[in-house]
């Protein structure tokens, strides 16, 4: 039983690390709309539609990244809660 508890605790630490990584990623992607505004004018050297394409490419990348990170964070939080509950249940069974 102690081996199972150790495995659950190890998995919980790994999930916490993933949650921290996703939090850091969300902080980094907050600059994507700014990059869209800064890089889109360079497309005007070619044509106006290129500038618009660059702008919307950045925004779609930003929206997709936020969606993925929020969904994965939600999933990991639920998994972490279930993992901790299972470890607590195993500890109670040992006593």
The rounded distance, in Å, linking the Cα atoms of 15 and 75 is: 10
20 alpha carbon, distance to own chain's centre:
8
What is the residue extent of each domain of the chain?
A: 2-94
**pLDDT per residue as tens, the chain (95 positions):** 788 899 999 999 999 999 999 999 999 999 999 999 999 999 999 999 999 999 999 999 999 999 999 999 999 999 999 999 999 999 898 77
The rounded distance, in Å, linking the Cα atoms of 3 and 11 is: 12
Q: pLDDT at position 94, please?
A: 79
Q: pLDDT at position 93, please?
A: 87
Q: Is the pTM of this model over 0.85?
A: no
The rounded distance, in Å, linking the Cα atoms of 44 and 85 is: 56
Residue 50: both structure tokens together: 């290129």
The rounded distance, in Å, linking the Cα atoms of 95 and 75 is: 31
């Amino acid at each position: 039983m102690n081996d199972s508890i150790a495995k659950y605790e190890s998995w919980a630490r790994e999930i916490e690390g993933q949650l921290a990584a996703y939090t850091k990623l969300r902080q980094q992607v907050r600059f994507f709309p700014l990059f869209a505004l800064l890089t889109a004018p360079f497309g005007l050297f070619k044509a106006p539609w290129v500038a618009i394409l660059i702008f919307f490419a950045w925004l779609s990348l930003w929206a997709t990244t936020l969606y993925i990170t929020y969904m994965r964070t939600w999933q990991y939080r639920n998994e972490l809660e279930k993992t901790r509950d299972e470890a607590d249940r195993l500890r109670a069974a040992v006593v």
